[in-house]
Amino acid sequence: MKSIKNHFSLIVALFAILFSIEVLIINNRAINAYEVKLASNYSIIVVSNTLITNKQFKSYSPYIATSKELSAEKIISKLQKNISKQNIQLLKLAMPKFYQLKLNHYPTPYQIKTITNALFSNPNITKVQDFSNTYNTTFKLLLLLKTITQIFTLTIFIITILLISKEMRIWQLKHKERMNIMGLFGAPVWLRSAVLFRLAIVDALIASAITAMLFYIISQTRFIKAQLSSIGININIFLPVQDGITLVIISTCLSIILASIIIIGYKEEI
């Protein structure tokens, strides 16, 4: 029972850190998926007096992925009843070219402005519609969500580090006596530290397993899947192998650092 209690305190502290980190990972993954979706729906409309090729558009900005000329047939067909065929031909020749540009990622408002300015460097381009007002609102909303998650993670991280440093002092006192006794009987440093490292690594693995299991269960619930699906995100927000390895690495590193600090701070008592 005492042994479980000894493990419990570090496991809880590690779990809190891993939980906050995993929330950050999952949130970023969901936001990235949403950004990809938004980027695929987002486009810039360009009006030009001359033909512009895909290659030419790409030369204006590396963010431009594709360009597609929009057909003017629909507008012209509406006018066909009132205008003669000859005039329609003239109208077709006189009409500017319309292009829809798709971007290779979800841009920032600044990047949109840069793209717009670059396009206007071509004197034949008369209008660029970037829908920046609507776009900026969505972008700011996502940015707010990201910032809130980061602040939340940072806060939990700081609180947990304080919790761990307190735990560390308790560990220092608890293990100092054993390390001291072992030292008096000639145990080399690695042997004196072995118990501590074993304990730290076992706790790290337990904390990682608990966190991974919890997030796996949460990610598989109908409610979460329905929520994500409703905003068009159809990806696995928790990747068991990738996230599991990340959690194990983070918790193991943290507990090894903790154990190392104890060992570095250890001095033989007289």
Partner 1 sequence: MNNIITANNISLSYNQNETIINKASFTIENGSFTFITGASGSGKSTLLKSLYGALKLDSGTLLIGGTELNKISSKKLNFLRQNIGIVFQDYKLIKEWDVEKNVMLPLIIGGFDKDLSKQQVHKVLNHVKLNHQSNKYPLELSGGEQQRVAMARALAHNPIMILADEPTGNLDDYSAELIWHLLEGANQQLKTTIVVVTHHIPNTLKVRYNHLHIEYGEIYEVN
Positions touching partner 1 (CB under 8 A) are: 2-3, 177-178, 180-188, 191, 268, 270
- CB neighbourhood size of 16 (10 A): 19
Compare residues 68 and 178 and give the one whose CB is closer to partner 1: 178
Give least dist CB 208 to partner 1, A: 25
Compare residues 129 and 177 and give the one whose CB is closer to partner 1: 177
What is the phi/psi pair of residue 101, to 5°? -105, 130
Give least dist CB 14 to partner 1, A: 21
Give least dist CB 30 to partner 1, A: 45
Compare residues 113 and 174 and give the one whose CB is closer to partner 1: 174
Is 215 in contact with 26 (CB distance < 8 Å)? yes
Terminal CA-CA length for the chain: 32
Crossing angle of the two packed helices 189-219 and 240-264, in degrees rounded to 10? 150
Give least dist CB 186 to partner 1, A: 3
Compare residues 111 and 172 and give the one whose CB is closer to partner 1: 172
From the list 150, 173, 212, the residue with the least C-alpha distance to 24 is 150
Give least dist CB 145 to partner 1, A: 47
Compare residues 144 and 181 and give the one whose CB is closer to partner 1: 181
Is 258 in contact with 171 (CB distance < 8 Å)? yes
Query: What's the CA gap between 145 and 237, in Å, rounded?
Result: 16
Compare residues 2 and 222 and give the one whose CB is closer to partner 1: 2
From the list 103, 97, 42, 34, the residue with the least C-alpha distance to 70 is 97
Give least dist CB 174 to partner 1, A: 8
For residue 51 the two structure tokens come to 């033909």
